[in-house]
Amino acid sequence: MAPVPAQPEAPPGATPEPGRVVLDARDIARALTRISHEILERNKGAGDLVLLGIPSRGVPLAERIAERIASVEGYDVPTGSLDVTMYRDDLRLKPARALLHTEIPEEGIDGSTVVLVDDVLFSGRTIRAALDALNDLGRPRAVRLAVLVDRGHRELPIRADFVGKNLPTSLVERVKVTLAGIDDVDAVTIHGEPGTPGAPAGERP
């Protein structure tokens, strides 16, 4: 089978939303390539892998990782998406939430090694909700976590197995991931840096 080409990077002249850029398109491409190789090494191949992206930006990240694995292994890893909206522990506080898409590969997840993919790991509550959602869908052999950015400030005992970049941040900072295909450009930026009045508290907790 011919290798699947990696998703093209954004044009060099593309400009992300104003903020301090910590990862540009080339950095993100390198991080995803490294994560892909680490997944293969940890799993000793791609045979039983399933990649599930957490909407919205975890889904294209999972697809890009699958493309890189296919280029190395010549094997199309099943991919899908996992909406965690109804499993969040703050649902009763913010009940008006739009449901996103869940799509599980036709062969299911029983006995597979599922790699959850998300853009930013913060408090860990989104991943806890994802684990609860998985429990209703099947019984994987193992569950791993891959994130593009780990910004710290964990509120639950959850750790990523594969990390593109560890990014120490203040709680008054907001980490924003933009991806070509959804946004205008591939970039990770920090907004509301310490000392900025009225800075937001952070990305989705």
Query: Domain extents for the chain?
Result: 25-86+105-165
Q: pLDDT at position 9, please?
A: 46
Going through the chain in order, the beta strands assigned E by DSSP cover 20-23, 49-53, 79-81, 113-121, 142-150, 162-166, 174-178, 187-191
User: Which residues have C-beta within 8 Å of that of residue 168, sequence separation ≥ 6?
Assistant: 151, 152
Neighbouring C-beta atoms of residue 96, cutoff 10 Å: 5
Cβ burial of 75 (10 Å; 0-12, 13-18, 19+) is middle
* H helices present in the chain, as ranges: 25-43, 58-73, 125-135
Q: pLDDT at position 90, please?
A: 76
Q: Per-residue pLDDT tens, the chain, 205 aa: give them.
A: 444 444 444 444 455 447 899 999 999 999 999 999 999 999 999 999 999 999 999 999 999 999 999 999 999 999 999 999 999 887 666 665 667 789 999 999 999 999 999 999 999 999 999 999 999 999 999 999 999 999 999 999 999 999 999 999 999 999 999 999 999 899 999 998 665 444 433 445 5
Q: Which two tokens stand for residue 64?
A: 């890009």
For strand 142-150 and strand 113-121, is the pairing parallel, antiparallel, or unpaired?
parallel
Sheet holding 162-166, edge to edge: 79-81, 49-53, 113-121, 142-150, 162-166
Whole-model pTM: value is 0.84
* CA distances, 163 to each of 1, 143, 179 (Å): 29, 15, 17
Q: pLDDT at position 202, please?
A: 40
Thinking of the domain 25-86+105-165, which architecture would CATH place it in? 3-Layer(aba) Sandwich (3.40)
CA gap 136, 148 in Å, rounded: 26
For strand 187-191 and strand 174-178, is the pairing parallel, antiparallel, or unpaired?
antiparallel
Three-class secondary structure of residue 65 per DSSP: helix
Q: pLDDT at position 199, please?
A: 41
